[in-house]
Amino acid sequence: MGILRRLFLPSFVDLVLPLAVLSFFVRGGVARQKAPEEARPVSDGERAFILLLGLGCLIAVPLFKVLTGLPPYLGILLGLGIVWVTTELLHRDKGEPSRRSLSLAHALVEIDLSSVLFFVGILLAVAALEVGGALSALATWLNAAIGNQAMIVGLLGFLSSVIDNVPLVSAAMNMYSLAHFPMDSFLWEFLAYCAGTGGSLLVIGSAAGVTAMGMERLTFGWYARRIAPLALLGYLGGAAVYLLETAAR
């Protein structure tokens, strides 16, 4: 809750600054085509229910780990099972074609497997660096070469745009000990902001970006030219707000 409370304003600034700039250049409207009723076998209420259920299962994963002490992936699998059973019960009275297309088994077939393998490879690489002692050596070198904790975390945020924010945070958790940096300390709060938002500086730096590349055929060059400068503006603005907040505390 401390991280959520203290990072709300910096994250809000990170959102608003790029949107404010875009508002001067983007004009026109978006025409939405409404699908015919016969092509929509689910109601708006069912859509909202499944969306909230899925988000709730994801948000509950940390709570599952705290309460049971089991690895987080078991909590994710439990949430997957809950969504699976719920969708089967929710659509049991629909016709066979509709029920099959709305099942979780059908959704799993549509998964972008290349993105999954991408993240598995990165996480395996981070684990290998941890076992080899490279991460602890990197943390020692950064402290000796730079010294300033804010600058180190800021650089880690830029690095998250290259190796993705999830494995970067995983690596940082292995680089810095909770004994020296307790929960809700400056390091973890600022790292949560920098890694979470810095991953959007490049399209390959977040799961959403990698997914968008596959779904919308975005190119690395187009994103670097059109979106990266705006993302950098928001990143630096939010970081400045957080540092000012910290200095005022």
- 105-161 pLDDT, tens per residue? 777 777 767 777 877 887 788 778 778 877 778 778 888 888 788 888 888 888 888
So what's the pLDDT on residue 37? Answer: 53
- pLDDT band at 241, cuts 50/70/90? very high
So what's the pLDDT on residue 39? Answer: 54
Task: Give the mean pLDDT of 36-53.
Answer: 76
Task: Give the mean pLDDT of 76-100.
Answer: 83
So what's the pLDDT on residue 38? Answer: 52
8 Å CB contact between 112 and 211: yes
Phi and psi angles of residue 93, each rounded to the nearest 5 degrees, phi first: -95, 0
- pLDDT band at 102, cuts 50/70/90? confident
Contacts of 49 (CB under 8 A, 6+ apart): 90
So what's the pLDDT on residue 238? Answer: 92
So what's the pLDDT on residue 36? Answer: 58
Q: From CA 25, how far away is CA 21, in angstroms rounded? A: 7
Mean pLDDT of all residues belonging to the chain: 83
Q: What is the pTM of this model?
A: 0.68
Residue percentage of the chain with pLDDT more than 70: 96
Task: Give the mean pLDDT of 63-90.
Answer: 88
Extract the tokens encoding 243: 């540092």
In this structure, the dihedral spanned by the alpha carbons of residues 50, 53, 57 and 60, taken in order and rounded to 10 degrees, is 160
- SS3 per residue for the chain: CHHHHHHHHHHHHHHHHHHHHHCCCCCCCCCCCCCCHHHCCCCHHHHHHHHHHHHHHHHHHHHHHHHHCCCHHHHHHHHHHHHHHHHHHHCCCCCHHHHHHCCHHHHHHCCCHHHHHHHHHHHHHHHHHHHCCHHHHHHHHHHHHCCCHHHHHHHHHHHHHHHCHHHHHHHHHHHCCCCCCCCCCHHHHHHHHHHHHHHHHCHHHCHHHHHHHHHHCCCHHHHHHHCHHHHHHHHHHHHHHHHHHHHHC
Residue percentage of the chain with pLDDT more than 90: 16
Q: From CA 49, how far away is CA 89, in angstroms rounded? A: 13
**Domain boundaries, given as residue ranges, for the chain:** 43-110, 111-249
- pLDDT band at 10, cuts 50/70/90? very high
- pLDDT band at 166, cuts 50/70/90? confident
User: 35 pLDDT exceeds 70?
Assistant: no
- pLDDT band at 229, cuts 50/70/90? very high
